[in-house]
Amino acid sequence: MTMRIKILTLFPEMFLPVLGRSITGRAIERGILSIEPIDIRAYTKNKHNRCDDYPYGGGAGLVMTPQPIYDCFRAAVQDFPARHILLSPRGKTLTQQRARELAQEENLIFLCGHYEGVDQRAVDEWIDEEISIGDYVLTGGELAAMVVIDCLSRHIPGVLGSGESAQEESFSDGLLEYPQYTRPALYEGREVPEVLLSGHDANIRTWRRERSLDITRERRPELLERAPLTQQDRVYLGWEEMPPKRPRRKKKRPQEGESAQNLPENP
């Protein structure tokens, strides 16, 4: 099944040079992902080909006018049932969990705002959800749309080479990712940690988990408050004490003249 994405934008030429490369590019080539940028300006009825105007009530900058957005949406939704998303700094911040949810959709339409924003009537009429990629302002929604598409595409089956890749990345389990190393084992005096060369899977998993905890505690400690931590994680962080080990009960040896078959199986 192909996930189909339409992007309503004033700058359609921005998208395929980026999304047409690397992992998303290969997904497009294999038919797993479809990207269709649509030029909003092609739908304007303004004789000067404008899609913006001054805001009512005054203020700096220009606002995207509703008419070309309405008509662009009317054309885009023909035989294309989809969730409509506006990229906006006032939207809910994108998370890995939201990206996973969006990856379950069959079709998506992104509207990229520009200038000082989009006329609210277009938002009220056409938009299901507003998404932000962070607490900062960009010139337009085009870069934000590419970030969201790249992020969600990694959760579409078949896009990544390894089914485990998306599960082991930063934020996938609520933590930042552990450090990664590759060949050579020694480079300019810096060595790969010995445990990664040991071939001992359990020790490697423990090392990676502890490094994820260390990095998260150092850089994004607030993530630890909502991450699904195990008791072992909490002990490592110093939040709990190591529970005492239960002593192993020794089996009772049969006395002289006593048959082992008469002893209870679980003394």
pLDDT at position 161: 74
Tokens of residue 260, six digits:
């082992």
pLDDT at position 1: 86
* Distance separating alpha carbons of residues 63 and 118, to the nearest angstrom: 6
Contact 60, 28 (CB under 8 A): no
Burial of 57 (0-12, 13-18, 19+ CB in 10 A): exposed
Contact 61, 20 (CB under 8 A): no
pLDDT at position 267: 46
pLDDT at position 171: 67
3-state DSSP helix/strand/coil percent for the chain, to nearest 5?
Answer: 35, 15, 50
For 175, how many CA atoms within 13 A lie in the half-sphere containing its CB? 21
The residues pairing with 53 across neighbouring beta strands, listed in sequence order, are 63
**CB crowding 157-195: b at 16 or more within 10 Å, else e:** eebbeeeeebeeebbbbbbbbbeeeeeeeeeeeeeeeee
Kindly give the confidence (pLDDT) of every residue in the chain, 267 residues in length, as a single tens digit, with 9 standing for 90 and above. Answer: 899 999 999 999 999 999 999 999 999 999 999 999 999 999 999 999 999 999 999 988 999 999 999 999 999 999 999 999 999 999 999 999 999 999 999 999 999 999 889 999 999 999 999 999 999 999 999 999 999 999 999 999 999 976 556 665 656 688 999 999 999 999 999 999 999 999 999 999 999 999 999 999 999 999 999 999 999 999 999 999 988 877 777 666 666 665 545 545 554
pLDDT at position 256: 64
Give the phi and the psi of residue 107 in degrees, each rounded to 5.
Answer: -135, 145
Identify the structural domains of the chain with CATH numbers, from first to last.
3-153 (3.40.1280.10), 168-242 (1.10.1270.20)
| Beta-sheet strands, E only, within the chain | 3-9, 33-39, 52-53, 63-64, 83-93, 107-112, 129-132, 186-187, 190-191
pLDDT at position 225: 94
Q: What amino acid occupies position 3?
A: M
Helix-helix angle 22-29:142-153, to 10 degrees:
70
pLDDT at position 25: 97
pLDDT at position 172: 66
DSSP class of residue 261 equals: G
Give the three-state DSSP class for 19. Answer: helix
Contact 110, 155 (CB under 8 A): no
Tokens of residue 176, six digits:
């930042």
